[in-house]
Amino acid sequence: MKISKRIVNISESMTLALTAKARQMKKNGIDVVGFGAGEPDFDTPEYIKNVAIEDIQKGVTKYTDTSGTLELREAVCKKLKRDNDLDYTPRQIIISPGAKFSLYIAILALCDDGDEVIIPSPYWLTYPEQVKASGGASVFIETSVDSEFKITPNQLKKAISPRTVALILNSPSNPTGAVYTRKELEDIADVILATNVVVISDEIYESLVYDDAEFASFPSLRPELKDRTVLVNGVSKTYSMTGWRIGYAAGPSEIIDAMSRLQSHSTSNPTSFVQRACAVAMLGDQSFVEEMRQAFDKRRRYMVERLNSFPWVKCAVPKGAFYAFPDVSGCYGKKLGGRIIKGSMDMAEVLLDEFKTGVIPGLPFGDDRCIRLSYAMSMEEIEKGLDRIEKALESVRD
Ligand code: PLP
């Protein structure tokens, strides 16, 4: 049996694998604190759930239009106008089973074999795997804690080649929590507009920004950008609806049509009976979003302050999403839990095996110096887990 070259090199999602291991340990009765969560710990609000329940009962259980119901695409247009001052028509919108799938078909629609996609590093680990699956090649731009994990226009200029077809931007970022300012994005936009590169702007963490950070939607920055951007967003993080699997893309009709053709032959359409509920989520009462944001903000402050008080830790203040991405490389080469820590994989393993604390190694996100901790969990759990990490780091020896 032969597995295709494209797929053989695709790695399993490390976040899902480690979260599964921590979950299994918990099931076996071990008191594990897991910082791996990639989803809000809140329940989906009742008024949203009720719409889907009603639609199941009404028999909204058949195929819908490939690119989603007109009602939901119109709701996305209204949302983009209300929040981002963007004018799109329903033909420029595609609803997909999750933002992850929107990203995948956007990349597939843009990449021929050997085409290059620029990805700022650290990155959400799915991007390079999707680029691989599309036959393209990822070109990474390195950033670090010291540059607040943001690329500069000069770095971008240097990374662009005649084979570059796309740049993937993700602000607020998973895993770093970095949020670009409007000015920083405008400077990036100016570099992009001097080329033919398309920007895939992953705006899934739009509603989770903190302190003085302000979210700016990439295509809204310059009038010409709407024709050169595929904006990706969804309901997963904003309304705590990760399991519902609804995301969307807005962009030039040529690209959206191509994505829709791909979708018609892969998933046919997004799930029928959740679509009206997603429209209600986007256009209804938004107070849930602010309540959740405030809860995350409190946990974020607590987590970052404590992390920065630990030995060996250097943690930039994340301004968005729900992750901290501390640099723990200071203790690499030293001993922890009877092992020499050579990188983030060792660190994550020792923390889980010896200190019953699940974190995600930075390596699959492109930065082996760091580990990722989610704060989408209760304050009590955060406290307990951080106590364990503190104890672990205090026990590091030469
Ligand atoms: N983009 C980023 C940066 C993410 O972190 C995630 C989920 O973890 C997604 C997209 C996918 O969202 P969805 O659940 O809508 O597929």
Tens of pLDDT, residue by residue over 203-243, are 999 999 999 999 999 999 999 999 999 999 999 999 999 99
Q: Are residues 370 and 269 in the same domain?
A: no
Q: Are residues 227 and 273 in the same domain?
A: yes
Q: Are residues 201 and 262 in the same domain?
A: yes
How many whole angstroms from 333 Cα to the centroid of ligand 1? 34
User: What confidence tier does 9 reach under pLDDT thresholds 50, 70, 90?
Assistant: confident
Of all protein residues, the one whose alpha carbon is nearest to atom 12 of ligand 1 is 99
Q: Are residues 116 and 229 in the same domain?
A: yes
Q: Cβ-count burial of 68 within 10 angstroms (0-12 exposed, 13-18 middle, 19+ buried)?
A: buried
Tens of pLDDT, residue by residue over 357-375, are 999 999 999 999 999 999 9
User: 14 pLDDT exceeds 80?
Assistant: no
User: 158 pLDDT exceeds 80?
Assistant: yes
Q: Are residues 28 and 169 in the same domain?
A: no
Helix (H) or strand (E) holding 118: strand 116-121
Q: Are residues 293 and 270 in the same domain?
A: no
Number of domains in the chain: 2
Query: Is any ligand 1 atom within 6 A of the Cβ of residue 130?
Result: no
Q: Are residues 300 and 261 in the same domain?
A: no
Query: Is any ligand 1 atom within 6 A of the Cβ of residue 320?
Result: no
How many whole angstroms from 242 Cα to the centroid of ligand 1? 8
Global pTM value: 0.96
208 — alpha (psi -120 to 50), left (phi > 0) or beta?
A: beta
Tens of pLDDT, residue by residue over 300-335, are 999 999 999 999 999 999 999 999 999 999 999 999
| Residue where a domain stops, chosen among 254, 283, 312 | 283
**What's the CATH number where 321 sits?**
3.90.1150.10
Tens of pLDDT, residue by residue over 129-153, are 999 999 999 999 999 988 999 999 9
Identity of residue 209: V
How many whole angstroms from 69 Cα to the centroid of ligand 1? 22
Query: Is any ligand 1 atom within 6 A of the Cβ of residue 100?
Result: yes
Q: Are residues 69 and 171 in the same domain?
A: yes
Transcribe 157-212 into DSSP letters: HHH--TTEEEEEEESS-TTT-----HHHHHHHHHHHHTS-PEEEEE-TTTT-B-TT
pLDDT score of 15: 65
Q: Which residue has the tokens 């990805």?
A: 119
Contact present, 292 and 240 (Cβ < 8 Å)? yes
Instruction: Give the residue, out of 204, 267, 372, with the most ligand 1 atoms within 8 A of its beta carbon, to mutate for a pocket test.
Output: 204
Please count the CA atoms within 13 angstroms of the CA of 2 that sit on its side-chain side. Answer: 3
Q: Are residues 36 and 162 in the same domain?
A: no
Q: Are residues 71 and 168 in the same domain?
A: yes
Residue 82: domain span: 46-283
Q: Are residues 58 and 195 in the same domain?
A: yes
| Residue where a domain stops, chosen among 248, 283, 318 | 283
Tens of pLDDT, residue by residue over 191-210, are 999 999 999 999 999 999 99
Strands 116-121 and 164-170: parallel
Q: Are residues 185 and 262 in the same domain?
A: yes
| Residue where a domain stops, chosen among 241, 267, 283 | 283
Query: Is any ligand 1 atom within 6 A of the Cβ of residue 124?
Result: yes
Identity of residue 59: G
* Distance from C-alpha of 32 to C-alpha of 28, rounded to nearest angstrom: 10
- The first and second tokens of residue 383, run together, are 């406290």
**What's the CATH number where 65 sits?**
3.40.640.10
